[in-house]
Amino acid sequence: MQTPLLLVALLMNALHAADLRLGMIGLDTSHVTAFTEILHNPSAKGHVPGARVVAGFKGGSPDIPSSWSRVEGYTRELEGKHGVRMHDTLESLCKDVDAVLVESVDGRPHLVQAKAAIAAGKPLYIDKPMAGSLKDAVEIFRLAEAARVPVFTASSLRFASNTLAARAGAVGKVLRAQTSSPAEREPHHPDLFWYGIHGVESLFTVMGPGCIAVRRSTNDTGAIKVEGRWTGGRTGIYVEAKGYSGFAEGTAGTMPVGSYDGYAPLVAEIVKFFRTRKPPVESRETLEILAFMEAADESARRSGAEVTLAEMLARAGAF
């Protein structure tokens, strides 16, 4: 006899047969319910049509309280409100969907989780942080390229309207930029991987790839400050702060950047990517972002000395 939850799932799937069928791996972050609401609810702010979450794999990390304490609550909401079917294995989930979102809040299991999607040939979005280390991220991209499976990762901050405008040339060529975001730490990850990545991603969205080296220090309030040296004598700075903000100085003026515009712009890019199989962010830029953050930690260990991204990338096997 079919359970009520299964009947709900079957009915929803029948009503939306033309939509992409998505699977979520790792149900321990608010992103899973927020993204699903944007996809499923036509009345939601920034509703994105054309895809539905039909499958889930709980995941969860026993050594991170903010992970294991949230899995069951988010699972119940996905099952009860959205009719998402739970799977016991990654392989089973991948067989049941058109594309996969790795959502585990912990970056360490992302390599194993990505391997399952890549082996199944499914387009793959990986939520921040892409992995628990630059080395794991390099391996994910290597495996994906070998299997010709498209993959990308990005913070929602990348798709803020003012940040994208600066990248598109609203102030001419950007010569100097500074972005800020919270930087809550998690002991199993490099310092900026856990939350500082949001501001770092804003910085790279504005500056583009081409960062050569970084120096890490603390400002007058004790917050992390990382100054990056880009090609062409340009400068990009990340500063830990309570909110999301920043500015870009270019050849044609100055403008604010680094705002948070919600999840909808990111969700729209994810669905577009799943349909076109064309990543909106190149792997080179993503690896630079991760190398920037690992180099910041290395700079701190070296008492603020400059550390090159090339050193971090070579250490991770990117060359």
Q: With contact defined as beta carbons under 8 Å apart, do 190 and 293 qualify? A: yes
If one counts the domains in the chain, the total is: 2
pLDDT in tens, 188-215: 999 999 999 999 999 999 999 999 999 9
pLDDT tens digit sequence for 26-68 = 999 999 999 999 999 999 999 999 999 999 999 999 999 989 9
Whether residue 12 is predicted with pLDDT greater than 60 in this model: the reply is: no
Residues 295 and 194 in one domain: yes
Please give the pLDDT value at position 220. 84
Task: Note the pLDDT tens digit of each residue in 261-301.
Answer: 999 999 999 999 999 999 999 999 999 999 999 999 999 99
Residue 94 lies in a domain: yes
8: pLDDT strictly greater than 60: no
Give 212-250 pLDDT, tens digit per residue.
Answer: 999 999 988 889 999 999 999 999 999 999 999 999 999
Asked if residue 127 lies in contact with residue 100, where contact means CB atoms within 8 angstroms, the answer is no
Whether residues 188 and 143 share a domain: the answer is: no
User: How is residue 158 written in tokens?
Assistant: 């990348």
Shared domain check, 9 and 144:
yes
Q: How many CB atoms lie within 10 A of CB 209?
A: 15
Q: Which two tokens stand for residue 296?
A: 């910041």
Structural domain ending residue among the three candidates 156, 190, 221: 156
What are φ and ψ of residue 165, in 5° steps? -65, -40
Give the pTM.
Answer: 0.92
Please identify, among 107, 132, 156, the residue that sits at the C-terminal boundary of a domain: 156
CATH number assigned to the domain comprising residue 38: 3.40.50.720
Q: Which domain holds residue 34?
A: 4-156
Indicate whether 36 and 97 sit together in one domain.
yes
Domain boundary among 115, 140, 156: 156
Chain-wide mean pLDDT for the chain?
95
Percent of the chain's residues with pLDDT above 90: 92
Residue 109 is predicted with a pLDDT of 97
How big is the CA angle at 195 (ends 190 and 196), to the nearest 5 degrees?
75
Residue 245 lies in a domain: yes
pLDDT of residue 4: 59
Secondary structure class of 187 (helix, strand, coil): coil
